[in-house]
Structure formats: structure tokens, C-alpha cells
């Protein structure tokens, strides 16, 4: 068998010349799973569609890839459009490509996920009125295959939390140990023993304890912590094993 007779590879041979070029071109979308945290629960940012198809239903935010950008840039642009923010941590997740996933037309979507602190970006940041934070556990059903995207994102976030530190993007600059534990419990969807959690976090050595207390949560007040950026990023690179 000669390679030039093969359809899948043959196309490339005729590059720039034949009908395949036009015929098989498709639209590329990117959809963003935006996770947030408010100190208590893991949240997800959704948008109510005010256009067809599926008008009135909830969906991830998304947009199409333009000729002049790569996917990372497209995802960042879409995120900026909605939240007004640059420099958000984003990671490519998965490509969804089923033929009829979008009933309107053949579209392939690359999902990205982002992590942000809800409080810092609630009113100033979110510029689209139809966008709303939902508790992850109480989120409505989404259009197309967006629920599947979210499911994959949750799994990825969970795995990430078990191998790299999480929180820099999801927590305010100063936070209590309890908030950090709430974050981990939300992501892993399980209760963690308080002492074991603190021991583990301390052994990671990525936090600086401040001489400041958060007095809103209790009468005694709870010490606030900060991530030590250098130590944190070192752990992001080398990773660890968070068995908890």
C-alpha cells in the first residue's frame, strides 16, 4: 500500500490544492470552566444564554478561535471579556468533538479551566449581567456537552489538588487555615481531619503565618496566612503526594 493512496494522509499531500481544505474545515470554540472559591464552597461561573440556540439556558462561557490567535490566547480573551481580568491561571483540558454536540453546526470545542477568588472578582470583575456564580453542587443543567466538560474539570482539579498546591488563585491574599481546609474539602469532596490537614500543610512549607487575625469567623479569631510565592511555585513544579 502506498501512502499517497491513503485518505487520511493523502489529504496532506494535496495541501493547498484540493477540496478537502474547504470541505473539512470546522469552527473551533473554546469553553471555560471557571472555578471560584468564597472561603466556604467551590463555585462555578455560568452564563445565561440570551441568544439561540438554547436561549435562556445556562452554559459555560465560550467563544470562537480567531485566525490571529492560538487557543490559549482565545481562552484568555474569552475570560477577559467576561471577567475583565488578565493573568488568570488557565489550563487546557480536553477537546470535545462529537459531530452533533452543537445542534447548530459542526463545532469542536476545547475546554479550559480557570481558578479565581470569588470575592475579589465578584462585582468589579464580572461584567456581564447574565453571569452568575453557582455552588458547584447546586449548578443547573448546562447546554450541549458542557456538563461533561465540568465533570472532567472537577476531576482534573481534584487530581491537581493531590499533587500540587492549590489556593494561590482561589483564595484571597490572606486567609485562615480553616478557609484553606474548606477549599480542599470542597475540591476533594470529603471531610479532612483538622490536625492532619494542618500537619500536612505545614510539612509542605509553602505558607507564611502572619501576625494578624481574622476576627469575623469567631470570638477568638483565627490567624491569617499567606502563600510564600517562591516556595509555592517550587512545589508547583516539583509536585508532591497529598494523601488525605
Query: Which residues of the chain form contacts with DNA (CB under 7 A)?
Result: 176-178, 193-196, 198-200, 203, 213, 217-223, 241-244
* Contact map string, positions 199 to 218, toward a second copy, x by CB under 8 A: --------------------
**121 touches 99 (CB < 8 A):** no
Q: Determine the Cα–Cα distance for residues 236 and 65; give it in Å rounded to an integer.
A: 29
Q: Select the residue interacting with a second copy from 85, 88, 128, 188 (CB under 8 A).
A: 128
Please tell me the distance from the alpha carbon of residue 107 to that of residue 29, in angstroms, as a whole number: 7
| Residue 216 contact partner, candidates a second copy, DNA, none, CB within 5 to 8 A by sort of partner | none
DSSP designation for 85 = -
Contacts of 74 (CB under 8 A, 6+ apart): 30, 63, 64, 65, 66
Return the range that interacts with a second copy (CB under 8 A); candidates 44-52, 116-124, 180-188, 222-230. Answer: 44-52
Residue 77 binds which entry of a second copy, DNA, none, with Cβ cut-offs from 5 to 8 Å by kind?
a second copy
**Dihedral sign of CA atoms 130, 131, 132, 134 in order:** positive
Q: How far is the CB of 181 from DNA (least distance, A)?
A: 9
- If contact means CB under 5 to 8 A according to the sort of partner, which of DNA, a second copy, none does residue 72 touch? a second copy
- Residue 21 as a binder of a second copy (CB under 8 A): the answer is yes
- CA distance linking residue 218 with residue 198, whole number of Å: 19
Task: Pick what 124 binds: a second copy, DNA, none; C-beta below 5 to 8 Å, kind-dependent.
Answer: none
**Of the candidates 145, 88, 93, the residue with the CA atom closest to the CA atom of residue 117:** 88
Choice between 128 and 236, CB closer to DNA: 236
Q: Which one of the spans 89-97, 132-140, 188-196, 218-226 is the region binding a second copy (CB under 8 A)?
A: 89-97
DSSP 128-189: -TTEEEEEGGGPPPBSTTHHHHHHHHHHHHHHHHHHS---TTTS-SSEEHHHHHHHHHHHHT
What residues line the site for a second copy (CB under 8 A)?
A: 1-4, 6-9, 11-13, 15-16, 20-21, 23-28, 47, 50-53, 61-72, 74, 77-78, 81, 92, 94-95, 97-99, 104-106, 108, 110, 127-128, 130, 241, 243
Amino acid at each position: 500500500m502506498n501512502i499517497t493512496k491513503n485518505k487520511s494522509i493523502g489529504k496532506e499531500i494535496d495541501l493547498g490544492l484540493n477540496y478537502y481544505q474547504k470541505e473539512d474545515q470546522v469552527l473551533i470554540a473554546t469553553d471555560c470552566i471557571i472555578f471560584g472559591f468564597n472561603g466556604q464552597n467551590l463555585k462555578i461561573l455560568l452564563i445565561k444564554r440570551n441568544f439561540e440556540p438554547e436561549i435562556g439556558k445556562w452554559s459555560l462561557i465560550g467563544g470562537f478561535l480567531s485566525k490571529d490567535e492560538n487557543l490559549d490566547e482565545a481562552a484568555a480573551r474569552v475570560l477577559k471579556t467576561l471577567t475583565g481580568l488578565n493573568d488568570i491561571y488557565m489550563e487546557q483540558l480536553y477537546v470535545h468533538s462529537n459531530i452533533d454536540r452543537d445542534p447548530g453546526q459542526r463545532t469542536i470545542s476545547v475546554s479550559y479551566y480557570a481558578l479565581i477568588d470569588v470575592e475579589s472578582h465578584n462585582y468589579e470583575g464580572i461584567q456581564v449581567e447574565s453571569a452568575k456564580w453557582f455552588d458547584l453542587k447546586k449548578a443547573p443543567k448546562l447546554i450541549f456537552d458542557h456538563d461533561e466538560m465540568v465533570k472532567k474539570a472537577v476531576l482534573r482539579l481534584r487530581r491537581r489538588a493531590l499533587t500540587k498546591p492549590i489556593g494561590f488563585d482561589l483564595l484571597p491574599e490572606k486567609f485562615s487555615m480553616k478557609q484553606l481546609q474548606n477549599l480542599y474539602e470542597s475540591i476533594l469532596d470529603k471531610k479532612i481531619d483538622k490536625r492532619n490537614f494542618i500537619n500536612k500543610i505545614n510539612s509542605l512549607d509553602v505558607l507564611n503565618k502572619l501576625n494578624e487575625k481574622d476576627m469575623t469567623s469567631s470570638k477568638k479569631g483565627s490567624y491569617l496566612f499567606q502563600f510564600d510565592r517562591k516556595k509555592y511555585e517550587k512545589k508547583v513544579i516539583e509536585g508532591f503526594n497529598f494523601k488525605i
